[in-house]
Amino acid sequence: MSSTAQPEDHSDGVTIRPAVLDDADALGQLHVDSWHEAYAHLVPDRIRADSEEHLAERIEVWREMVALHDRTLVAEAPEGLVGFAGAGEPDELGLPLLALYVRAHWWGSGLGHLLFEATIGGAPSYLWVLEPNKRAIRFYENHGYHPDGAFQHAEEGLHIRMVRP
């Protein structure tokens, strides 16, 4: 994936394209909204509320991320941004998938798969996923990932690492 990647249009009116600086505000709001949707029953209310309180900071982080590298893709539908995915720099484990979020009303539409393919494709890669998030774990297992035994604790709970050689 590179900043020279061409937008990819899909029959459902969605375009997958590299994120640009003008997306930062919408990306920040999308990140908070989709995080809330994905973790509504998995993390305490106080943690979800905290993410909303720090929306301005999240937008600034997105400005910096988009300005510094070109590894974030967005899915844009007629109603605006509906998903995003981002990868880090490859390392000894492969390409790290840092984020993949889609608005809840797009779950099951295939959009997550399209974002995943556009971001990671068939590359060896890994990611961290919140352990009780069975929906996400199944999604990644369907894309060839498996837990490798590594874990880390975060405020929202236990994250497990999943790898795909």
> 13-45 pLDDT, tens per residue?
899 999 999 999 999 999 988 888 887 777 766
The three-point CA angle 51-52-58 to 5° equals 65
Instruction: Please say if the pLDDT value at position 111 is more than 90.
Output: yes
Q: How far is CA 34 from CA 22, 31, 82, in A?
A: 19, 5, 9
What integer pLDDT is reported at residue 24 of this predicted model? 94
Q: Which domains does the chain have, with CATH numbers?
A: 8-164 (3.40.630.30)
Tell me how far apart the alpha carbons of residues 13 and 78 are, in angstroms, rounded to a whole number. 7
Say what percent of the chain tops pLDDT 90.
Answer: 64
Q: What is the mean pLDDT of residues 52-80?
A: 86
Instruction: Please say if the pLDDT value at position 4 is more than 50.
Output: no
pTM: 0.86
Strands (E), the chain: 8-9, 15-18, 72-77, 80-87, 95-102, 125-130, 146-154, 157-164
Strand partners for 15: 9, 76
Kindly give, in sequence order, each residue whose CB lies less than 8 Å from that of residue 148, ignoring residues fewer than 6 positions away. 126, 161, 162, 163
What integer pLDDT is reported at residue 80 of this predicted model? 95
CB-based contact 134:160 (threshold 8 Å):
no
Task: Tell me the pLDDT band of 2, cut-offs 50, 70 and 90.
Answer: very low
Task: Tell me the pLDDT band of 65, cut-offs 50, 70 and 90.
Answer: confident
Task: Tell me the pLDDT band of 50, cut-offs 50, 70 and 90.
Answer: low
Strands 157-164 and 72-77: unpaired
Instruction: Please say if the pLDDT value at position 99 is more than 60.
Output: yes
Instruction: Please provide the average confidence, as pLDDT, over all residues in the chain.
Output: 88
Q: Which two tokens stand for residue 84?
A: 């995003």
> 131-148 pLDDT, tens per residue?
999 999 999 999 999 999
